[in-house]
Amino acid sequence: MRSTAKLFFKYVSSNVLGMVGVSCYILADTLFIARGVGETGLTALNLAIPVFSIINGTGLMLGVGGATRFSLSGKKDVFSKILSWTLILSLVYILWGIFLSRQTALFLGADANTVSLTSEYLRILLFFSPAFMLNNLVSSFVRNDMQPRLAMTAMLIGSFTNILLDYVFVFPLGLGMFGAALATGVSPVISLLILSIHFIKKQNSFPFQISTVKLSALKDACALGLPSFITELSSGIVIIVFNFLILRLAGNTGVAAYSIVANIAMVLVAVFNGVSSGCQPILSKACGENNHLQMKNTARLGIYTCELLAVLFLLVLFFFAEPITLLFNSQNSRELTEITVQGIHIYFLSFLFSSFNIFMAAFTAAVDRPKLGFFISASRGFIVILPAAIILAYLFDMVGVWSSIVVTEACVAFFSFFSLRKTL
């Protein structure tokens, strides 16, 4: 157990910091847009975030799925095969941004006041999709190639670069939404430059090789990485559904409030994803060696860590909800503050359950049980949350909207526990 714990904290601590760094891309945008553009900018940003979830989720699916297969099989050509598909899919996203950014903004709920800001942010975000996806891919393989600290360093430097560029572009240069989006897009490029050290020093076990594009490689990576994609996609879908419900109940101010809540949640969920992804190399290696004791010990450490962090986050947010809200409320809107504080107090109760669900979805993928992981993730993102949000919003207005995420995560946690209790 002691050796497992040492390995666990080595991988998890590095990965948590790295994942938080990635999630801070959008949080930094939220803060600087709130201070530099105002409530309308916050609303536009929240309308655009689901597209970032899709880009990031695709990169995680290919990266985590491919790296898991690499760890389970030891085949050196896995990286090159997944790299080809990453470039192909990122090209699709670039074309999406060039030709459909305005239509996408309107589809996501933008109105006359927010459509130009939303489409501008989307266009830049989609243009830099290769950087986001390659960053997820390379960092996942580097982490599985026994270099978790390098992956962490790359992500953190990218995040700090984003914060610095956000300030420079939004305030001294006055570039507004365009500047915030540009800062976010440049940051993963910096991370990739740091990760390239792994190849320059020839420390890698997955050298670049000329590889044919095979659909079987994509299907294999998607099968193992699908829970990671669904986790990201589910957050995007929840944001879309919540945006439409909140626009009807509280207008653009309500969506701005939800932007604050959702972006804080994105950073904290990244911590749970970091714990889960950090455990993945240990779990996959133990699974490949049929070391069931190490699998069980690692899983328990992961669950305990996630739950402890969830309680800590909940306490901090409950007692400091208003000061946190005021950081994003540059116009001192009382309505914005009231809606946001109410959301924080209710929404984040879900962390007691979502922390467990996120870990269980990642656990099933790491030990080659992707179907169960898909069902857990899909239940959080589609099956339960959509009817819960619609019904509770109809019955209890904004309180129902905030409560729907708590009800959803509690139901899924109950299912996850009873499905995997014998394994744990």
Backbone angles phi, psi at 330, to 5 degrees: -70, -25
Q: What is the pLDDT of residues 127-175, one digit of tens each?
A: 999 999 999 999 988 888 878 788 888 888 988 898 899 999 999 999 9
At 104 the pLDDT is: 97
User: Bigger pLDDT: 233 or 122?
Assistant: 122
Q: What is the pLDDT of residues 334-348, one digit of tens each?
A: 999 999 999 999 999
Long-range pairs for 173-176: beta carbons < 8 A, 24 or more residues apart: 176/33, 176/36, 176/37, 176/41, 176/117
In this predicted structure, the answer to whether residue 370 has a pLDDT above a threshold of 80 is no
For the residues 238-258, what does the mean pLDDT come to?
A: 93
At 199 the pLDDT is: 84
Residue 208 falls in which region: left (phi positive, over 0), alpha (psi -120 to 50) or beta: beta
Q: Which of 318, 67, 28 minimizes the C-alpha distance to 186? A: 28
For the residues 14-23, what does the mean pLDDT come to?
A: 67
At 389 the pLDDT is: 95
For the residues 366-370, what does the mean pLDDT come to?
A: 78
For the residues 53-60, what does the mean pLDDT come to?
A: 91
Q: Distance between CA 348 and CA 165 in Å, rounded?
A: 30
Q: Which of 272, 265, 281 minimizes the C-alpha distance to 302? A: 272
At 18 the pLDDT is: 65
Range from 95-99, 100-104, 293-297 carrying the lowest mean pLDDT: 293-297
Percentage with pLDDT > 90 across the chain: 50
For the residues 214-238, what does the mean pLDDT come to?
A: 80
At 344 the pLDDT is: 97
At 145 the pLDDT is: 83
In this predicted structure, the answer to whether residue 388 has a pLDDT above a threshold of 90 is yes
In this predicted structure, the answer to whether residue 2 has a pLDDT above a threshold of 60 is no
> DSSP states of 320-381 as a string?
SHHHHHHHT-TT--HHHHHHHHHHHHHHGGGHHHHHHHHHHHHHHHHTT-HHHHHHHHHIII
Long-range pairs for 410-413: beta carbons < 8 A, 24 or more residues apart: 410/350, 410/353, 411/379, 411/384, 412/353, 412/357, 412/376, 412/379, 412/380, 412/384, 413/353, 413/354, 413/356, 413/357
DSSP single-letter state for residue 201: T
At 3 the pLDDT is: 62
Number of neighbours of residue 63 by Cβ within 10 angstroms = 29
At 173 the pLDDT is: 94
Q: Which of 344, 259, 337, 341 minimizes the C-alpha distance to 41? A: 259
Q: Distance between CA 371 and CA 179 in Å, rounded?
A: 41
Q: What is the pLDDT of residues 165-220, one digit of tens each?
A: 999 999 999 999 999 999 999 999 999 999 999 888 776 777 776 667 778 878 88
Q: Distance between CA 290 and CA 326 in Å, rounded?
A: 51
* Angle ∠(44,37,318) on CA atoms, nearest 5: 75
What pTM does this model have?
A: 0.81
Q: Distance between CA 383 and CA 286 in Å, rounded?
A: 32
Q: Distance between CA 333 and CA 251 in Å, rounded?
A: 14
In this predicted structure, the answer to whether residue 7 has a pLDDT above a threshold of 90 is no
Q: Distance between CA 141 and CA 128 in Å, rounded?
A: 21
Mean pLDDT rounded to a whole number for the chain: 88
In this predicted structure, the answer to whether residue 22 has a pLDDT above a threshold of 70 is no
In this predicted structure, the answer to whether residue 328 has a pLDDT above a threshold of 60 is yes
Beta-carbon-side half-sphere exposure of residue 284 (alpha carbons within 13 Å): 27
